Amino acid sequence: MTLKATSYGRLQGNGSKVQLCGYTGTMGNLTLRKPSKLRSRQSETNYSDGRFQLSLQMDGNLVLYSLSMPSQNLDNPYYATMGTINWDSQLIFTEAGYMYIDGGNGRNLSLRKEDPGSNETYYYIARIDHDGVFRIYKHLRKKDETSGGSCPPSWTEVQGIPEDICQAFVSNTNTIGGGLCGPNSLCSNDGPKVRCTCPPGFSALDQSDDWAGCTPDFALPSCQKENRDLVEFKELIHVNWPFSDYQLLQGPHVNRTSCENHCRDDCLCVVAIYNENRCWKKKYPLSNGRKNPSIPGIVLIKVPKNNDLYKKKQSMVVVLALLLGSSAFLNILLFLVIFAACYYLYHKKLNLPWNIDSTFATNVRSYTYKELEEATRGFKHILGKGAFGTVYKGVLGSDSKRYVAVKKLDKVVEEGEKEFTTEVSVIGQTHHKNLVRLLGYCDEGEHRLLVYEYMSNGSLATFLFGISRPHWNQRVQIAFGIARGLMYLHEECSTQIIHCDIKPQNILLDEYFTPRIADFGLAKLLLAEQTRAARTGIRGTIGYFAPEWFRKASISVKVDVYSFGVMLLEIICCKSSVAFAMGEEEALIDWAYECYKDKKLEKLIENDEEARNDMKRLERLVIVAIWCIQEDPSLRPSMKKVTQMLEGVIEVSVPPRPSLYASSPPSKMSSSEFSLSTIVTISDR
């Protein structure tokens, strides 16, 4: 790790110290020939291999790299000489502290900006330090007679390469990763050493390692309009995270206040930077952070209001709970309350009019119509309208943050009653992270209501087909989650479920953008020994229907596979299949297949650079989608196999051309949503 300009002396601590004080002999030059590599140490006190490397390459250039840990793959260089040097180059470090690259043709490239000092006065060493800077140090040869003849206390830095490594990382390295100091941190080079610090409200991920990055000390409130006043902004200056932008607002109408409000109303925005009628919105993780007086603009960090007060209240609740739990009297009282509640629920279960399966009755709660009317404030806030009713936003009990979605069934005729019985008896038994969970129900007189988890980020349709294109990796993970949810419905439930209306509008996103399959009101139920379902009154959406819906054909789980294939193409392209079907353009599945056949997959993703850099996975997803939309149901894979192909567990083969059905929907259909009444058969597996 250390180059010393001498052939004498004693090297201590694996290159940390060179003890030469008082030596009066002559020194020699040191020559480093290519290819040569030097590794930094892990930290000031840890001498194992660190994350930086100096290389004298075969082309003669001296290059500094960072390494991705623990893979130790080389990242883009953050410093390189880039000189015109021939193949005979070598790095020379003289005893006078002069360092240069000898090109072998009479041309030298100096790495020292100042004149070399006297080799009679100083010793010189050069090393790549744990912070990634290649430094030259000097040390007095002679003992200091004014201090009793003792040796000087330490080595003095002469020069560092690069001069500002924080700026070098921003200018020359990859935009992927946390940067020199890790995610959510700030790098500063305003002293003799590089410093990694955390912004206000953040703490080091590892208290023993300042280079591991930072984590926020707070949790922001859920992203609802009602919560916009629960956050405020801390102001900083002279800092920036240049690679965390996802939106730029600019123009004469943009000022500091509007910039703050835009960030306040945006779920993804955690930091906004305002400067001269421009507003940069940034999201986690904040990468390649830098602190320097030359950086312009005002930094606004979004934090919750009265965070300390909130923590104190939480602590008081914990203490109170412990005290209550230690009281024998309250424990006995709690036991009596639980016993009475169980007795009440048991007798209420016996009186359920729709013969709801007892295996799930204790998993969901029964609500009165009045309770749900109060929870929704008189059914005021409409979230959406579905095939069998309207969905409202509500709040349960005294917890103002526990939002729910209440589905009120408008139809109480026979079809609606069957729909209610199906949803309550089946959904109450389903438990999977990619399914919307049923919390309760109401069966009171003519009122039929269902209470679901509230999904704060809306539907996949809104997410995909909005103004800005979502990140490629986020779209891929959403596709994986939907596939796992469908596999659970088809193969892992005690009662097999066919959804029959898979589309982006029926995929909801929770606060972490995890996909949740919703609306089981259209599900096709199968007994364990059957693979087909007979049902009337099926509803669905143009652009997602499998071809067998338009024939007198057996309906199986493969209709969901077809719909998933269409939706997978939408996730890839961020284009709506319905828009294709209703417009003059070529159908989405035909266009996607032509792009695959002609090896022009880049057309599907347009200007999506993130997807362009992941062409291998893009091709695999397109091939899986084409297999899913085959006209013959027997050619379509099961959702288990689809999941394995998406995740790369099994290889995918070349698919045949899919049906041209989707490009020619029935001419009599004028709406994107329609009903079918069909007779289908039931057959044994």
> Tens digit of pLDDT for each residue in 380-398?
998 888 766 789 999 987 6
Residues 621-635: pLDDT tens digits? 999 999 999 999 999
- Spatial distance between the Cα atoms of 574 and 464, rounded to a whole number of angstroms: 5
Those residues whose C-beta lies under 8 Å from the C-beta of residue 284, and which sit 6 or more positions away, are 183, 184, 244, 270
Strands 365-366 and 438-444: parallel
Q: What is the mean pLDDT of the chain?
A: 78
Which carries the bigger pLDDT value, residue 221 or residue 319? 221
Specify the CATH number for the domain of residue 366. Answer: 3.30.200.20
Maximum average pLDDT range among 354-368, 405-419, 491-505: 491-505
**Mean predicted confidence (pLDDT) in 37-59:** 87
CATH for 145: 2.90.10.10
Query: At 281, which CATH number?
Result: 3.50.4.10
CB 594 within 8 A of CB 576: no
Q: Which domain holds residue 136?
A: 2-163
The confidence score (pLDDT) of residue 80 equals 87
Beta 17-19 vs 10-12: how paired, if at all?
Answer: antiparallel
Let me know whether 345 and 469 are in one domain. no
Poorest-pLDDT segment among 274-278, 309-313, 417-421, 672-676: 672-676
Two tokens at 273? 């930077």
Task: Read off the pLDDT of residues 66-86 as tens digits, 9 standing for 90 and up.
Answer: 887 777 788 888 888 876 556
Ordered alpha helix ranges (H), 165-272: 165-172, 256-264
- For the segment 432-451, the average pLDDT, to the nearest whole number, is 87
Of all residues in the chain, what percent carry a pLDDT higher than 70? 73
On whether both 437 and 501 belong to a single domain, the answer is no
* Mean pLDDT comparison of 23-27, 630-634, 638-642, highest-scoring range: 638-642
Tokens 């590599």 label which residue? 37
Residues 216 and 155 in one domain: no
Residue at a domain's end among 453, 484, 501:
453
State the DSSP H helix or E strand holding residue 32, giving kind and residue range, or none if neither: strand 30-33
Contact between residue 111 and residue 89 where contact means Cβ atoms under 8 Å apart: no
Lowest mean pLDDT across 56-65, 152-161, 278-287: 152-161
Contact 21, 152 (CB under 8 A): yes
* Boundary-marking domain end, from 309, 339, 355: 309
227-232: average pLDDT: 83
According to the model, what pLDDT value does residue 28 have? 56
In this structure, the answer to whether residues 467 and 446 fall within a common structural domain is no
Say how far apart CA 203 and CA 212 lie, in whole Å.
11
pLDDT of the residue at 156? 84
My answer on whether 144 and 159 are in the same domain is yes
pLDDT band at 321 (very low <50, low <70, confident <90, very high): low
416 and 468 together in one domain? no
Average pLDDT of 427-436? 86
- Is residue 176 situated within a structural domain? no
* CB 556 within 8 Å of CB 531: yes
Starting at the edge strand found earlier in the chain, the sheet holding 62-68 runs: 36-41, 49-56, 62-68, 73-80
- 269: Cβ contacts below 8 Å, ≥ 6 apart: 262, 263, 281, 282, 283, 302
Q: Is there a domain that residue 430 lies in? A: yes
- What is the gyration radius of the CA atoms in the chain, in angstroms? 33
pLDDT of residue 47: 84
Copy the structure tokens of residue 296. Answer: 């312009």
**Residue 445 pLDDT level (bands cut at 50, 70, 90):** confident
Per the CB < 8 A criterion, the answer to whether 126 and 134 are in contact is: yes
What pLDDT score was predicted for residue 114?
A: 64
Report pLDDT for 633: 92
Band the pLDDT of 172: cuts 50, 70, 90: confident
Other C-beta atoms closer than 10 Å to the C-beta of 282 total 26
Buried b (16+ CB within 10 A) or exposed e, 539-556: ebbbbbbbbbbeeebbbb
CA gap 443, 465 in Å, rounded: 37
* Residue 175 pLDDT: 61
Domain count for the chain, please give it.
Answer: 4
Distance CA 179, CA 161 (A): 18
Closest CA to 450 of 399, 514, 520: 520
Cβ-count burial of 178 within 10 angstroms (0-12 exposed, 13-18 middle, 19+ buried)?
buried
Same domain, yes or no: 428 and 574: no
Does residue 305 share a domain with residue 376?
Answer: no
Stretch 108-124: mean pLDDT, rounded? Answer: 70
Residue 523 is predicted with a pLDDT of 47
Mapped onto helix, strand or coil, the DSSP state of residue 397 is coil
Report whether 408 belongs to an annotated binding site. Answer: yes
Residue 55 included in any domain = yes
Q: Would you say residue 315 lies in a domain?
A: no
Question: In this structure, are strands 122-128 and 134-140 parallel, antiparallel, or unpaired?
Answer: antiparallel
Average pLDDT over residues 232-238: 92
Residue 501 designated active-site: yes
- Say if residue 303 is in the same domain as residue 335: no
Q: Are residues 624 and 501 in the same domain?
A: yes
pLDDT at residue 153 is higher than 70: no
Q: Same domain, yes or no, for 506 and 478? A: yes
Cα end-to-end span (Å), the chain: 69
Which of 641, 504, 639 has its CA nearest to residue 573? 504
Q: Is 666's pLDDT higher than 60?
A: no
- Indicate whether 323 belongs to any domain: no
Strands (DSSP E) found in 163-244: 186-188, 195-197, 202-206, 209-216, 231-237, 239-240
Candidate from 211-225, 305-319, 600-614, 661-675 with smallest mean pLDDT: 661-675
| pLDDT more than 90, % of the chain | 31
Res 113: pLDDT? 63
- Provide the pLDDT for residue 581: 53
CB atoms under 10 Å from CB of 537, counted, come to 14
- Tell me the C-alpha to C-alpha distance, in Å, between residue 212 and each of 40, 77, 205: 16, 20, 6
C-alpha torsion 336→341→346→352, nearest 10: 160
Q: What CA–CA distance (Å, rounded) separates 559 from 567? A: 13
Separation between Cα atoms, residue 527 and residue 497, nearest integer Å: 9
Per residue in 525-546, pLDDT (tens digit) is 333 334 444 444 444 567 788 8
540: domain CATH number? Answer: 1.10.510.10
With vertex at residue 78, the alpha carbon angle to CA 72 and CA 79, rounded to the nearest 5 degrees, is 120
187 confidence band (pLDDT: 50, 70, 90): very high
Secondary structure (3-state) at 355: coil
Q: Is residue 181 part of a domain?
A: no
| Residue 304, strand partner residues | 231
Distance separating alpha carbons of residues 628 and 635, to the nearest angstrom: 8
3-state secondary structure 61-97: CEEEEEEECCCCEEEEEEEECCCCCCCCCEEEECCCC
Cα separation, 446 vs 428, whole angstroms: 21
Q: Say if 322 falls within a structural domain.
A: no
From 129, 210, 443, 501, active-site residue: 501
The 3-class secondary structure across 602-621, one letter per residue, is HHHHCCCHHHHCCHHHHHHH
Residue 92's pLDDT is what?
Answer: 85
Dist. CA 330–CA 320, nearest whole Å:
13
Answer yes or no: is 241 within a domain: yes
Q: What is the 3-state secondary structure (H, E, C) of 136-164?
A: EEEEECCCEHHHCCECCCCCEEEEEECCC
Same domain, 568 and 651: yes
310 burial type by CB count under 10 A (0-12 exposed, 13-18 middle, 19+ buried): middle
Per DSSP bridges, beta strands 438-444 and 209-216 are: unpaired
Average pLDDT over residues 490-494: 86
Cβ neighbours around 379 below 10 Å, total: 16
From 401, 435, 453, the end of a domain falls on 453
pLDDT band at 354 (very low <50, low <70, confident <90, very high): very low
